[in-house]
Structure 1
């Protein structure tokens, strides 16, 4: 038992985990009327998939070791288990999995697939209907040239005509059989408050199952998950379907915003032209984000070989229906992943100014999808004194999976944050996991409960501001 003292073993208990256990379970519920944009789903049964990775103690956990729990919320497309439990070998050994790293540090983790993602409910007339993917745009005069119908979108990330033959990815051959279809649902699938209710349910589940010693969880939001988490922690949420926000906030001991989206209306507000008129978005797998060309040469080893393919494989593993979609050869699908179209709101400086849990904001310095300025804005708006901002060099939007190779990984002086003296930096993913472990356990980064830090191209952390 590496890391366990002989005295502890002799006493019949372990002070550190000897392994991890991976499991999935489902949380059933009934959709409240008005929670989703399409009323046809009101009152229907649904369930959330929760991917749990927990520490295992071969001789039982010593009573002096506290129970800790974290709820990890995924972003707009890639599902929770693929984001947080990537089964890809890490360059330094082990896996790129955040959940397994946290479990080995004694933290019980719960990564749900929110409604409409992975194996959570998608509904027959919702995301299980390929005819609910987008149709072509209306003509400029407002007319429609297609008998199946036309669509509008409120966000370029939810593109039009994903049913059409000229799109990539496309549903036109598999499973549509060469014919666009009219929608069985003509509105966006969800709103942010739909996901807030999901998160509340998972918080309660995590506390019941992990029994954290302080009765609370640490809430982690990645990418768009930061928006969902921010809204969950908004005490002034006026939605009558989500009362008692303060009671749920009281169940959160700390919060982490990783590569978070930021800057939306406080409440759901129709954009010019209205919301999207379709609920289903399809995409291909997912993988490491791109860096500017002049940074790729400096950030050697950022993309861990095989990681892009493993992300795509795990996404399709969580979506057996989508795995039968896509491709241009009849009967030979390439596999597509499905995600819900939703409206964005509830996460901005006004909301962040009301945060109460101690807050860690961590962001890749090279993130081209959610700019690092988001992290600074969240940090500046957060009112508490126990808050930390960390910027990670060579990290893109998918820094949770990114590595390091070559001479740059060995510092000329200092030790990579969370690393071993004399050993090279393993890359942004190792910084993220070390930061999460320290924050969840002690509410500090590099020993400090407050301040701004930069992690350089060799993984060494230094303070940059108060």
Structure 2
């Protein structure tokens, strides 16, 4: 049997281990850990926390300083009315005045602080450099039979994977040599539509290095459109957001001590670095040469499902598959299923057994990723657009898989 290796790239807010190795049981007795499932299939996995995330270096004067969270905005005329300074944010995902709204009592003791760094933490190619290093390390350690790895990117990680595979990257040399080390790619709930290269915004880049994600709101990745929670029974596996929260605390002990009025009972945060975002759009997609599996939840409210259609339609490679999953949100790879809808009246859940229920989107993602890494196919097909219905049955888009409950 040939040996395989894969590198899994996390998104903008959470580090690699909680995203891809969630230590939680899944419906049917399985696991929500992507890494465990791939390992059982004989695939070596590497899920790094990129620079500035998780247990990587945070820099004592950078992300470890609560005074480097955002301050109040500049006035419309560009002036600042506050002695500690003001901030700008060129990306809405990095909100302003997190010092005043989240940290003022703990740990700032009632007073906003001037920054020790007045710059965004990084940019896309900073983490592309990280990914290149991990690719080489994975090949050296796992010794895959073909000398290559499969790249898997979730959310913002999809953008980073795409930039890694972009031969025309003018920032980092030797892109062709890196691309030759990657046999296939997986884009999971990927962001899409950024500029090809870094462009200075009219007001300038984000002027602070650290963004805060409240632990109390960590379930946002599971959010679905109104009414869909009731239809998509069991999509949140009981206690899985709590386990996700606990593992993020393990990865960011300092951030978990911030917030609230009482330092002995903090509300806690996951800290993540700010950045400039670019490198994943139609232009880039049309130049990718790596076979790609694009998989997306049709109930994703954070990255629109139309992203997946745009990515797939613009990829020029012959070996490409699009899988869109009903009753799946942005946390597709961590979601389950319960109740009558999980047992199809016709057909067999993809990756499952006849007569047995669908265990949820996580099971579809796990089975699809294993098949793609090993064979470059989904349900035996090397090309095509598939829909996985609310009972887990896969069928080509535009056809029907039969009635479900």
Q: Establish whether TM, by shorter chain, passes 0.5.
A: yes
Question: Is the 2:214–2:267 contact (alpha carbons within 8 Å) kept by the matching residues of 1?
Answer: no
* Structure 2 Cα separation of the partners of residues 432 and 95 of structure 1: 12
* Structure 2 Cα separation of the partners of residues 97 and 465 of structure 1: 32
Shift of 1:465: 6.2
* Structure 2 Cα separation of the partners of residues 281 and 119 of structure 1: 16
Match for residue 214 of structure 2 among 284, 287, 292: 284
- TM-score (normalizing by structure 2): 0.96
Match for residue 293 of structure 1 among 213, 226, 242: 226
Matched, 1:381 2:317: no
Matches within 5 A, 1:383-462: 383-462=316-395
* Structure 2 Cα separation of the partners of residues 284 and 99 of structure 1: 26
Q: Who is 2:98 aligned against?
A: 162
Shift of 1:94: 3.0
Question: Is the 2:70–2:99 contact (alpha carbons within 8 Å) kept by the matching residues of 1?
Answer: yes
Match for residue 129 of structure 1 among 53, 65, 72: 65
* Structure 2 Cα separation of the partners of residues 142 and 271 of structure 1: 15
Q: Who is 1:274 aligned against?
A: 204
* Structure 2 Cα separation of the partners of residues 94 and 436 of structure 1: 16
SS in 2 for 1:109: strand
- TM-score (normalizing by structure 1): 0.84
Q: Who is 1:20 aligned against?
A: none
Q: Deviations over 1:202-228 (max 9, x none)?
A: 000000000000000000010000011
* Structure 2 Cα separation of the partners of residues 407 and 69 of structure 1: 37
Q: Who is 1:334 aligned against?
A: 267
Q: Larger radius of gyration, structure 1 or 2? A: 1
Matched, 1:349 2:282: yes
Q: Deviations over 1:88-122 (max 9, x none)?
A: 11111132111101111111100000000000111
Match for residue 152 of structure 2 among 207, 220, 243: 220
Residues paired across the two proteins, number: 396
Q: Who is 1:94 aligned against?
A: 30
Q: Who is 1:84 aligned against?
A: 20
Q: Who is 2:137 aligned against?
A: 205
Shift of 1:271: 1.8
Structure 1's unaligned 5+ residue stretches are 1-64
* Structure 1 Cα separation of the partners of residues 212 and 57 of structure 2: 16
More moved, 135-144 vs 327-336: 327-336
Question: Is the 2:151–2:186 contact (alpha carbons within 8 Å) kept by the matching residues of 1?
Answer: yes
Shift of 1:397: 0.7
Question: Is the 1:82–1:315 contact (alpha carbons within 8 Å) kept by the matching residues of 2?
Answer: yes
* Structure 2 Cα separation of the partners of residues 350 and 144 of structure 1: 39
Q: Deviations over 1:380-406 (max 9, x none)?
A: 110010000000000011111111000
Q: Deviations over 1:316-340 (max 9, x none)?
A: 1001111221121144323211000
Q: Who is 2:123 aligned against?
A: 191
Matched, 1:67 2:3: yes
* Structure 1 Cα separation of the partners of residues 227 and 245 of structure 2: 27
Matched, 1:118 2:54: yes
Matches within 5 A, 1:102-113: 102-113=38-49
SS in 1 for 2:231: coil
SS in 2 for 1:454: strand
* Structure 1 Cα separation of the partners of residues 231 and 350 of structure 2: 19
Question: Is the 1:134–1:160 contact (alpha carbons within 8 Å) kept by the matching residues of 2?
Answer: yes
* Structure 1 Cα separation of the partners of residues 48 and 349 of structure 2: 31
Q: Who is 1:153 aligned against?
A: 89
SS in 2 for 1:163: helix
SS in 1 for 2:385: strand
SS in 2 for 1:297: helix
Match for residue 237 of structure 2 among 265, 287, 304: 304
Shift of 1:196: 0.3
SS in 2 for 1:317: helix
* Structure 2 Cα separation of the partners of residues 224 and 95 of structure 1: 24
Shift of 1:418: 0.4
Match for residue 175 of structure 2 among 232, 245, 249: 245
Structure 2's unaligned 5+ residue stretches are 400-405
Shift of 1:297: 1.8
Shift of 1:272: 2.4
